[in-house]
Amino acid sequence: MAEMNLQVLLRRRPKGEPVPEDFDIVETPVPQPGPGEVLVRAHYLSLDPYMRGRMSDAKSYSAPVELGAVMEGQTAGEVVASNAPGFAPGDTVLGGFGWQRFSVVQPGRLFKIDPKEAPLSASLGVLGMPGLTAWVGLEDIGQPKAGETVVVSAASGAVGQVVGQIAKIRGCKVVGIAGGAKKCEFVTEVLGFDACIDHRGDLNAQLDRHCPQGIDVYWENVGGAVQRAVFPRMNDHGRMVMCGMIAEYNDTEVRPGPNLMATVRKRLRIQGFIVSDSGWPRYPQFRQEMLGHMASGRMAWREDVVEGLSNAPDAFIGLLKGSNFGKLVIKID
């Protein structure tokens, strides 16, 4: 029997937390590349919190996935057929081909990588969009200096693990925030952060203990209660890198805003950013630097690999509740 494509489609827009019924899983014929096109087989799919935004048609920085369309996502895989110069069967490639096994793509949307440099899945995490996010946000906004205190929320996750390790390489005191003892132990023992706070415990008491000199750089990944506890502890001229607020992604109503007077008094910089605005042209420099850190043993990473594309909806629903431990990727076959 001929091999089929497997696709995960958006069936309907979630209200609050996504549920499995918001997705459809379908088998379709493998598409054939036309002139100038490439057929790619994805081996790994990255699952990321931003996908919750793509499921919604609320105003955002990017267009939503259409109902009935393949869910959007980054993949790593190999070329299986090519009608495009510069690409041949067997080439290892990255690109945004969505939640599906096979896709036909224009060569301009493909990024060729050397599979000998690192395990393929790493190019979706520590060497991929989340790692690039960490690197860009610290370069452009956080700008941590040796001796400063850097606090990183969702510290064991895809972005957080890279943020904290780069800040350590720059000579900072780094305090992570994560959910539960196991994640906190990983953050200090494997990633080498100076301390880790369990956000399920007393946030204020733990922040007082681990950040007695206040906070110079806060890396915001979660929002909610964590943000409320961190904000009053920001030092003069502190920087808040507003990367994401996953704790609020399933909200159905906008939460009331904080009082921002301290921003004036302390001359704080609070800046949001989206990695795709300026990140990808800098990818080669980022990748080289990260490969150097990995080779010298200064950049650890952890992946949470779920087998089978049809398990992607459940894995994604879990990501929004903290069920993942490390960068969440789907091993497609």
Q: Which positions touch ligand NAP (CB under 6 A)?
A: 48-50, 130, 133, 154, 156-160, 178-179, 183, 199, 221-222, 224, 226, 243-247, 273-275, 319, 321-322, 324, 327
Distances (CA, A) of 258 to 127, 202, 250, 314: 35, 20, 19, 33
Min separation Cβ 275 and ligand NAP, Å:
4
- Between 82 and 123, name the residue whose CB sits nearer to ligand NAP: 123
**Largest distance between two CA atoms of the chain:** 69
Q: Is the separation of the CB atoms in 166 and 131 below 8 Å?
A: no
- Between 31 and 192, name the residue whose CB sits nearer to ligand NAP: 192
Distances (CA, A) of 180 to 12, 117, 159, 184: 33, 33, 18, 6
Interstrand relation of 38-46 and 102-105 (parallel, antiparallel or unpaired): antiparallel
Min separation Cβ 139 and ligand NAP, Å:
13
Min separation Cβ 81 and ligand NAP, Å:
32
- List, in sequence order, the alpha helices (H) in the chain: 50-54, 129-137, 158-169, 181-189, 203-210, 224-230, 261-265, 275-278, 283-295, 312-319
- Between 182 and 267, name the residue whose CB sits nearer to ligand NAP: 182
Min separation Cβ 223 and ligand NAP, Å:
8
- Between 123 and 221, name the residue whose CB sits nearer to ligand NAP: 221
- Between 50 and 102, name the residue whose CB sits nearer to ligand NAP: 50
- Between 199 and 210, name the residue whose CB sits nearer to ligand NAP: 199
Min separation Cβ 100 and ligand NAP, Å:
20
Min separation Cβ 222 and ligand NAP, Å:
4
Which residue's CB atom is positioned nearest to ligand NAP?
157
- Between 80 and 195, name the residue whose CB sits nearer to ligand NAP: 195
Min separation Cβ 145 and ligand NAP, Å:
23
Distance CA 15, CA 55 (A): 10
- DSSP lists the bridge partners of residue 197 as 177
Beta strands in the chain (DSSP E): 4-10, 23-29, 38-46, 75-82, 92-95, 102-105, 111-112, 149-153, 173-178, 195-198, 215-220, 234-242, 269-272, 303-307, 327-331
